[in-house]
Amino acid sequence: MKTPRLLEPAPNWSDAERPTLPGSPASIAHARSKRMQYFIIGLFITLVGGLSNGFITANLPQIQGEYGLTPSEAAWIPTVYVMANVSSNLILFKARQQYGLRLFSEIGLIFFIAVLILHLFVHSFGMVLFTRFISGFVAAPLSSLGMYYMMQAFQRAHLGKAIYLAFGFQQLGLPLAWIISPTLIEVNDWSNLYRFELGLALCCLAMVVALKLPRSLRVEVFEKKDFITFLLLATAFACFCIVLSQGPILWWLNTPWLAYLLIAGFALLLLGLAFEHYRLNPLIMTRWISTGSMLNFILGAIAIRFLMSEQSYATVNFLRSMGMGPDQFVPLYRIIFCGIALGTIFSALSFSRERMLLKLIFAEILILIACGLDYHLTRDVRPENFYLSQFLVGFAGGAFIGPLILTGMSKALSKGPHYVITFIVLFSATQNFGGLIGSSFFSTYQQYRSQDYRSQMLTDLNTTQEIVQLRIQQYQRLYQNYQADPQLQHSLALKKLNQDINQESQVRAFNDVIALNGLFALFLLLWGSSNIAWSKYQLYRSTQQTRSIAVNHSSTTLNPNSSTNHE
């Protein structure tokens, strides 16, 4: 690897102030009041970075109705966000190294504001997709910007706590969007939501301009081959996002073009990695990715985000299938918000490099307990029945993200600064694809089990049975007040019975989803615990061998002629 050329003279920093990496700000000893300002701005930017996607997730059914979209078309809205977000880190890390974080972030925010203003006047499905794509692209530098502002609020010795807080609080955007959306959105007037998002972006820009980050090192890092890698891998990631989002809706076996798209995605991914493998100055360190420790990290990061996706899929979709609306989700998401915030603060206050892996195990235990609490759902379950379990899942989400990123970042920094971009891309990909794979898998499994239960119940249902006749008569009496035709009453009663069967099959299928997620959590817990135990055992053996060699060397030094004397 060649050493990048400096684009401007470095300021006269002390060793404590010098940035860890080019593109990151210097660690200046600010006054207490200024540290507080940095923290507030960092917290605000961090929340805004997650709110944009949270608004879409929380209001997707309403947006679908507003624009008259099919479920497949509506699924494209969050998909394009993830497509842009997961690919942006391939190029943004080098962009801020070469052009500076401050300039790059300000230009990104200005462009996003311009798109939001245009969105206020152009109400179309294509404009929604374009806005979400830009939002996903801008969210990546915003997350880094929020982290760097928070890091300025802490002394260099406590930067680990700042990273814990920054990445933990990023997850607050989704529950916060659920909490405030019902008060923002009015019937037949969605402009309030877009105006609010525009106002947040303007506030971010004003804060970033008013209180700038300290300077960073600017180095020449871009190569023409970087853009070839970006095109190959970004297109591959886009193919995977489309397949995972559309598969459960259009159904995997009924849509041949999904298979072709999946093949194209894997082909482009392999081609991109092969191209990087033989580059002199690669963007992605393929040899490092293929090591055992990094493969374990990748699998673990995907798996734990996979487990966390049960909260966003099973809980919300179960309650929606039971007839719950957005207003009824607000108290539940307040609980989740508190869980994530407390988990993040707990993780930061108990920061210790020695306990990072133990916190990941702790998060898996909390998810396992939550699955046990949520099992045995019935049609009488309401949001308040999920308060304790979803608080635990939220706490686990806030507690695990900091240790996960710091574990990977320490591995990257130990290899050298060129490995950091590989880790950032890996971390973004594992978190985005882990959530997508989880939602796609659980949605597919839930639909399959629901149809299976429905078929079983219809097969076992005998309309001549006394209990079935009583239920039909009960439903007929419900319609007598406003329907005089007995045959139509009977038809409506059968329709109501069919709705009950559908709802019961949904309940049983969601129970299966929760049970399966619990099994995955148990397996991941055992796998993670065994890896930690094996690492401890190897460290113990290495220590014992070192001591044994030291003792033998010491005895030989003290008695150099012991063997001669014996002879």
> Is residue 245 helix, strand or coil?
helix
Distance CA 87, CA 83 (A): 6
Query: Tokens 């974080």 label which residue?
Result: 101
Residues 319 and 405 in one domain: yes
Q: Does 398 reside within a domain?
A: yes
Amino acid at 524: L
Distance CA 293, CA 3 (A): 27
Residues 5 and 137 in one domain: yes
What are phi and psi for residue 217, nearest 5 degrees?
-75, 130
Q: Does 206 reside within a domain?
A: yes
Task: Quote the distance between the C-alpha of residue 122 and its chain's center.
Answer: 30
Three-point CA angle 206, 208, 210, nearest 5°: 65
CATH number at residue 397: 1.20.1250
Domain count, the chain: 2
Residue pair 84/137 in contact by the 8 Å Cβ criterion: yes
Report yes or no on whether pTM surpasses 0.75: yes
Residues 177 and 298 in one domain: no
Q: Does 242 reside within a domain?
A: no
Q: Does 262 reside within a domain?
A: no
Task: Compute the chain's Rg from CA coordinates.
Answer: 28
Residues 193 and 328 in one domain: no
Distance CA 166, CA 149 (A): 9
Residues 150 and 20 in one domain: yes
Report pLDDT for 243. Answer: 94
Tally the C-alpha atoms within 13 A of residue 341's C-alpha that lie toward its C-beta. 14
Q: Does 124 reside within a domain?
A: yes
Nearest CA to 276 out of 483, 103, 148, 418 is that of 418
Residues 218 and 348 in one domain: no
Residue pair 166/406 in contact by the 8 Å Cβ criterion: no
For the chain, counts of helices (H) and of strands (E): 19, 2
Report pLDDT for 326. Answer: 82
Residues 512 and 405 in one domain: yes
Residues 344 and 200 in one domain: no
Residues 484 and 336 in one domain: yes
Residues 339 and 478 in one domain: yes
Quickly list DSSP for 487-555. Answer: HHHHHHHHHHHHHHHHHHHHHHHHHHHHHHHHHHHHHHHHHHHHHHHHHHHHHHHHHHHHHHHHHHHHH
Query: Cβ atoms within 10 A of the Cβ of 224, count?
Result: 6
The parent domain of residue 367 ranges over 288-527
Which residue, of 202, 223, 244, is where some domain finishes?
223
Sign of CA dihedral 124, 126, 129, 133: negative
Distance CA 150, CA 152 (A): 5
Q: Tokens standing for 426?
A: 């890996």
> Is residue 350 helix, strand or coil?
coil
Q: Tokens standing for 559?
A: 């008695």
Q: Tokens standing for 263?
A: 């093949």
557 burial (CB, 10 Å; 0-12 / 13-18 / 19+) is: exposed
Amino acid at 227: F
Name residues whose C-beta falls within 8 Å of residue 349's C-beta, 6 or more positions apart in sequence. Answer: 161
Residues 436 and 520 in one domain: yes
Q: Does 236 reside within a domain?
A: no
Nearest CA to 514 out of 312, 372, 404, 389 is that of 372
Which residue, of 173, 195, 223, is where some domain finishes?
223
Residue pair 328/381 in contact by the 8 Å Cβ criterion: no
Residues 207 and 299 in one domain: no
327 burial (CB, 10 Å; 0-12 / 13-18 / 19+) is: exposed
Q: Does 212 reside within a domain?
A: yes
Report pLDDT for 558. Answer: 56
Reading the chain (567 residues) residue by residue, the pLDDT tens digits are: 566 676 677 777 777 777 777 777 877 888 888 999 999 999 998 888 888 888 888 888 888 887 888 989 999 998 998 888 888 877 887 887 888 777 777 887 888 888 888 877 777 888 888 888 888 888 877 888 888 888 888 887 788 888 888 888 888 988 998 998 888 776 556 677 888 888 888 998 899 888 888 887 777 777 888 889 889 999 999 999 999 999 999 999 888 999 999 999 999 999 999 998 888 888 888 888 888 888 888 888 888 888 888 777 888 888 888 888 888 889 999 999 999 999 989 888 887 777 777 888 888 899 889 888 888 888 888 888 889 999 999 998 888 888 888 888 888 878 877 788 888 888 888 888 888 899 999 999 999 999 999 888 887 777 667 777 777 777 777 777 776 677 787 777 778 778 888 888 988 999 999 999 989 989 988 888 887 788 777 877 877 777 777 777 666 665 655 444 444
Which residue, of 223, 239, 263, is where some domain finishes?
223
Quickly list DSSP for 264-333. Answer: HHHHHHHHHHHHHHT-SS-SS-HHHHTSHHHHHHHHHHHHHHHHHHHIIIIIHHHHHHTT--HHHHHHHH
CATH number at residue 32: 1.20.1250.20
The CB-based long-range contact list for 133-137 (8 Å cut-off, 24+ gap) reads 133/80, 133/81, 133/83, 133/84, 134/84, 135/52, 135/53, 135/81, 135/84, 136/53, 136/80, 136/81, 136/82, 136/83, 136/84, 136/85, 136/88, 137/84, 137/85, 137/88, 137/108
Report pLDDT for 188. Answer: 54
Distance CA 345, CA 395 (A): 10
* SS3 letters across 221-235: CCCHHHHHHHHHHHH
Q: Does 258 reside within a domain?
A: no
Distance CA 174, CA 178 (A): 7
